[in-house]
Every structure is written in C-alpha cells, then in structure tokens.
Amino acid sequence: MRVRVNKEKLEELKKQLKPGHSWWALVGIIVFFFVPEIIAFFWGDDISKYFALKEKNSIDFLHKFLYEQLKSLGENSIFNITLGIVFVIWFFIERKDKA
C-alpha cells in the first residue's frame, strides 16, 4: 500500500516543529549553563567538603556512590561554559536572521 505525501503540509509541519527563539530561551541557557558554574566558582570547596563528609558518614553503597558523584558539583566545568557560550551565540545569530 502506497502513502501519498503532501509536500506543502510536510514543510508547514516542519516549520511548526522548529523551536522558537524567545527571551525565555536565553534565560534558560543562562540558568542551566552559567548559574551552576558561578555557584561552583564561589562555593565549590564548600559543596565538595559537604558531600565528602556525607559520603564518609554514609552506611550503604548506594548513598556512598551518589555522594561521590555529587562531589563533582563543586568543580567548574569548561565544557558547560563552552556549551553555554555556543548556545548564546546560536541564539543571537538565529534572532538576527529572523529580523
């Protein structure tokens, strides 16, 4: 059985599915990529010490494993900062093309 595809409707659906660029997207980029790195810069040592202490006082393996993973929250991530910068550049380039 063959299915007919209406190319105009398909193009219209593709345009509807393309994500929009609102200022909320920029706020989301800042909140998810830059704010955690700023917090890690100022309070990274305290975060690492807190989770190291929780890991030391934990009894079961699961909690020890989770606290070990959470200790890395106190470290700055160049990957997150770079990805955030790429998204901000992408955000403004796409907005410029639409204007």
pLDDT in tens, 15-27: 777 666 788 888 9
Contact in structure between 91 and 26 (CB atoms under 8 Å): yes
Taken as a whole, the chain contains a residue count of 99
Q: Where are the domains of the chain?
A: 22-98
Residue 8 has pLDDT above 70, yes or no: yes
Q: How far apart are the first and last CA of the chain?
A: 44
Q: Which residues lie below 8 Å from residue 57, measured CB to CB, with a gap of 6+?
A: none
pLDDT for position 86: 92
